[in-house]
Structure 1
Amino acid sequence: MARTARARQEIRRFLAIGAVQVAELDLDGEEAVLVPGPGSPPVTAGEVFVLVRRRGRPVGTLLAHVPRGADPKAVLAARAAMECPAVPVTEGGRSGKPPFASVVVATRERAGQLARALDSLLAQDHPRFEIVVVDNAPVTDETRELVERKYAERVRYVCEPVPGLAAAHNAGLAAVAGEVVAFTDDDVVADPRWLRELTAPFAADARLGCATGLILPARLTTPAQVLLESHGGFAKGFTPRTYDPARPPGDEPLFPFTAGRFGSGASMAFRTRVLREVGGFDPATGAGTAARGGDDLYCFVRVLAEGHRLHYTPYALVWHHHRETWRDLETQAYGYGAGLTAYLTAVLVNRPGLLPAFLARLPRGLAHARALTAVREAPGGGTPGDHDVRTHPWPRRLSRLQRRGMLYGPVGYLRARRALRVAARGAR
């Protein structure tokens, strides 16, 4: 009875969450420049989630209220000046010519979203790149027809009949010619400098095997989108960082197994040779399989385990269209939990030599898992750089689903492997 009442209260709280505007504010120059987020209307009175830039580069976010009748730019610029003070902007990989790059976009029956993503990718300022669209287990010709009709010679089309995001990514990996291969999703809008910023670090560091970038919300119009972003969303902060297996970070006692800290699949790139050498993505992981997820995290760990560095840069930005409904959040919470333990299972199955290191970290790992799935009340801590202000409590229902997903993940991975073997026998 108490659980039912608590669940109803959580739903009421959820439905009461209001929409938040999304905007960008560039403080470079004598006068700040305020523009709406991608696809958003001009900023008016109300709550605003703001990406703050300096010299065009992302340096932080803030959540601010614009009073009725006030000038949005003046209000937001004053807040940004206080909370995102001027600091030297790290040049990072901006110096030097970025390598020839390939961009892989896996998709399935979402031609409208795909077109929006492709338009942003074709507007990249990278000097030399190609785009490959992988149509995963299609049931219609919609994606192929879109690519052929609208993008012709600018985008290559590949069809991968085996369902699953990892299988689609592997099909793209096999087709690319770039020295670096970048991956993003069909539900993003890429900042014009995304590909340059994501790939340039490879030219500066011969040991770099992987790079990841910043992911921010394109819209915050539904309670589900606002709730997810108020608890951190997909972003990993605004401080560039390089993870080196030769010098394990002291503040990451579970390194390299907490791969979710390194980045996400909507903004990641690999040195093509390195990704092929580790065998690419495990096809029994990822969305579209029984494992539910973890394909990106699997590759992060595999690349680090082979001695290559991984670099996170907040300057490589994509705007992500978060899922919109409560049901979406339930699916996402369960899938995240399942993907987490599925990718760990995949790592140990494919690289059993990592088992001693994994077992040594297991006690702390279990504590980390409990913290990861804990009910997170509001208000909480957080800084504009993390934008984890926790303006809304995280529902117990979603925490329970994430824990259930964690228990299911290894089973899901083994089921996915079995399904692949059955499919391979049937294809002979």
Structure 2
Amino acid sequence: MTTPVRLLDGSGPDLVTDFELTAPVDIADRTSDGVRRTRAWIVLRDHGLPVGMLTLAIPDGGLPAAAVTEAFTGVRVPDPAALQAARERACRDGATVTAVVCTRERPEALRRCLESLLRQDYPHATILVVDNAPTSEATCRVVADFPSVRYVVEPRPGLSRARNRALAEIDTELVAWIDDDEVADVRWLTEIARAFLEYPDAAGMSGVVVPAEIETAAQAWYEAFGGHSKGRGFTAADFVPGAMRQSPLYPLPPFGVGANMAFRHTDLVAVGGFDEALGAGTLAEGGEDTLIFTRLLLADRPLLYRPAALTRHYHRRETERLAAQMRGYGVALTAFYTSLLLDRPLLLPRLLRLAPTALRDVSSGGSLRNIGLREGMPSEFMSLNKRGMAIGPWRYLRSRRQVRRDS
């Protein structure tokens, strides 16, 4: 059991829970651990489909179900029978998929992730663990407890190298990616298969990532910053080159997130896989997922956003680790753009036209990027983020040289 950690505002840890609109139940103010919860992060579901998320105060005595239902202003499932039929068709006719977990020395988190993958209701799936530059046998021992899970080692450090190793190992039509510090909703793979079945021309898709817990101030601040899903919400979207209102180059959040993404295997191979100078474990610290989405859009391949494919992420609990993450996000962002321009220099005029908008977003307190500052996030975190942006190009160039030396 997780030891409760008090938030900096003096309240106890928050409650993270689901709420089924077709069978509403009151939300208690105390959980089984006896800790008083004063705020709830609620994933709203309609016939099991995620349709929204609310953050509500929990009064003494609990939060009545009627209050939650009244607060929800999203869209309900218009035809539950059609939804069920679509799920059944996906389980019957959907493509084969490999769920890939790239991991490094986080055995307990990996175990939790694998347990969620083995609970999936999708019948045409396999699971692959890529152990990236291991320094112990811990990951191998965990996977040994799951006989149906495949295990491979990628000895060279770097998340992109681990991702590319997975691409070389699998033979399924689809590949789905989940981080080792996440758990997947039981229908995660079914909803991925349904999306590709209903949009057969799509090259890739991303789902929604919600918090698995909000036990510390750092976790609450991260969600205020937008969490993994960066405000994408619970409305499905299609990103079709030539029919999009926004540029595929900026702003980036709508297109997808590496913690919950899936692609047609052939499309990933066609665009060259992942840039091994980007990603966790490199000097660039990230950005490989953003680049793969952008490469596909620039290759005129459609992408989908489907919040029905839901995962839960265990955010960093410590303030120091969140600070490092915010700095790393800044590094990764400008490293991504450096990679993009080095490979496609003719994009420079388009990026320069977008630069004034980007600068306004970075500096404006009212922008979506900075909205977390109004929720109590320390301004120092955003300063660290900007410092990371300043060194990202240099970091990427060093990383790229390192990759070439090791090849």
State the Cα RMSD in Å: 2.7
Please report how far the alpha carbon of residue 89 of structure 1 lies from its aligned counterpart in structure 2 after TM superposition.
4.6
Q: Residue in 1 aligned with 2:382?
A: 399
Please report how far the alpha carbon of residue 35 of structure 1 lies from its aligned counterpart in structure 2 after TM superposition.
8.3
Question: 1:197 and 2:188 equivalent?
Answer: no
Question: 1:340 and 2:333 equivalent?
Answer: yes
Per-residue CA deviation, residues 66-122 of structure 1 (Å, 9 max, x unaligned), is 22234x4xx144223332356345878745432110111000001110010001011
Question: 1:105 and 2:101 equivalent?
Answer: yes
Q: Residue in 2 aligned with 1:57?
A: 49
SS in 2 for 1:228: helix
Q: Is the 8 A contact 2:51 2:74 kept in 1?
A: no
Please report how far the alpha carbon of residue 376 of structure 1 lies from its aligned counterpart in structure 2 after TM superposition.
8.2
Indicate the larger mover: 109-118 or 13-22. Answer: 13-22
* Equivalent AA in structure 1 for residue 241 of structure 2: P
* Equivalent AA in structure 2 for residue 410 of structure 1: P
Q: Residue in 1 aligned with 2:110?
A: 114
SS in 2 for 1:288: coil
Q: Residue in 1 aligned with 2:68?
A: 79
* Equivalent AA in structure 2 for residue 46 of structure 1: T
* Equivalent AA in structure 2 for residue 208 of structure 1: A
Distance 1:41 1:132, change over 3 A: farther
* Equivalent AA in structure 1 for residue 116 of structure 2: S
Per-residue CA deviation, residues 206-265 of structure 1 (Å, 9 max, x unaligned), is 32111000100001001100111133212220100011112122xx3x433332232211
SS in 1 for 2:203: strand
> Which of 133, 155, 161 is the aligned partner of 1:161?
155
Question: 1:182 and 2:149 equivalent?
Answer: no
> Which of 273, 287, 296 is the aligned partner of 1:280?
273
SS in 2 for 1:340: helix
- Equivalent residues in 2 for 1:142-161, closer than 5 Å: 142-148=138-144, 150-152=145-147, 154-161=148-155
SS in 1 for 2:95: coil
Q: Is the 8 A contact 1:22 1:40 kept in 2?
A: no
Q: Residue in 2 aligned with 1:218?
A: 212
Q: Residue in 2 aligned with 1:9?
A: none
SS in 1 for 2:375: coil
Q: Is the 8 A contact 2:52 2:74 kept in 1?
A: no
Question: 1:240 and 2:257 equivalent?
Answer: no
Q: Is the 8 A contact 2:13 2:37 kept in 1?
A: no
Instruction: Tell me the distance in 2 between the aligned counterparts of 1:198 and 1:68.
Output: 40
Instruction: Tell me the distance in 1 between the aligned counterparts of 2:56 and 2:199.
Output: 39
Distance 1:374 1:329, change over 3 A: farther
Q: Is the 8 A contact 1:160 1:171 kept in 2?
A: yes
Q: Is the 8 A contact 2:210 2:313 kept in 1?
A: yes
Q: Is the 8 A contact 1:147 1:155 kept in 2?
A: yes
> Which of 331, 345, 348 is the aligned partner of 1:352?
345
Instruction: Tell me the distance in 2 between the aligned counterparts of 1:19 and 1:126.
Output: 34
SS in 2 for 1:270: strand
Distance 1:155 1:373, change over 3 A: farther
Q: Is the 8 A contact 1:244 1:309 kept in 2?
A: yes
Q: Is the 8 A contact 1:21 1:43 kept in 2?
A: no
Q: Residue in 1 aligned with 2:134?
A: 138
Distance 1:229 1:175, change over 3 A: same
Instruction: Tell me the distance in 1 between the aligned counterparts of 2:139 and 2:286.
Output: 23
Q: Is the 8 A contact 2:96 2:173 kept in 1?
A: yes
Per-residue CA deviation, residues 5-31 of structure 1 (Å, 9 max, x unaligned), is xxxxxxxx9565642111111012xx3
Instruction: Tell me the distance in 2 between the aligned counterparts of 1:415 and 1:330.
Output: 23
Q: Residue in 2 aligned with 1:128?
A: 124
* Equivalent AA in structure 1 for residue 324 of structure 2: T
Q: Is the 8 A contact 2:12 2:38 kept in 1?
A: no
Q: Residue in 1 aligned with 2:3?
A: none
Question: 1:361 and 2:344 equivalent?
Answer: no
Distance 1:226 1:45, change over 3 A: closer
SS in 1 for 2:275: coil
Q: What runs of 5+ residues in structure 2 fail to find an aligned partner? A: 1-6
Q: Residue in 2 aligned with 1:206?
A: 200
* Equivalent AA in structure 1 for residue 140 of structure 2: R
Per-residue CA deviation, residues 290-340 of structure 1 (Å, 9 max, x unaligned), is 001101101000011111111001111001000011111111110111111
Instruction: Tell me the distance in 2 between the aligned counterparts of 1:375 and 1:257.
Output: 13
Please report how far the alpha carbon of residue 345 of structure 1 lies from its aligned counterpart in structure 2 after TM superposition.
1.3
Please report how far the alpha carbon of residue 395 of structure 1 lies from its aligned counterpart in structure 2 after TM superposition.
1.6
Q: Is the 8 A contact 1:210 1:268 kept in 2?
A: yes
Instruction: Tell me the distance in 2 between the aligned counterparts of 1:87 and 1:335.
Output: 38
Q: What runs of 5+ residues in structure 1 fail to find an aligned partner? A: 1-12, 381-387
Q: Residue in 2 aligned with 1:412?
A: 395
Instruction: Tell me the distance in 1 between the aligned counterparts of 2:46 and 2:180.
Output: 28
Instruction: Tell me the distance in 2 between the aligned counterparts of 1:394 and 1:67.
Output: 24
Identity of aligned residues (%): 38
Instruction: Tell me the distance in 2 between the aligned counterparts of 1:100 and 1:372.
Output: 45
Instruction: Tell me the distance in 1 between the aligned counterparts of 2:253 and 2:386.
Output: 16
Instruction: Tell me the distance in 2 between the aligned counterparts of 1:354 and 1:136.
Output: 33
Question: 1:297 and 2:280 equivalent?
Answer: no
Q: Residue in 2 aligned with 1:325?
A: 318
Q: Is the 8 A contact 2:330 2:385 kept in 1?
A: yes
Distance 1:45 1:277, change over 3 A: closer
SS in 2 for 1:208: coil
SS in 2 for 1:400: helix
Please report how far the alpha carbon of residue 195 of structure 1 lies from its aligned counterpart in structure 2 after TM superposition.
1.1
Instruction: Tell me the distance in 2 between the aligned counterparts of 1:262 and 1:352.
Output: 22
Q: How many residues are treated as equivalent by the alignment?
A: 391
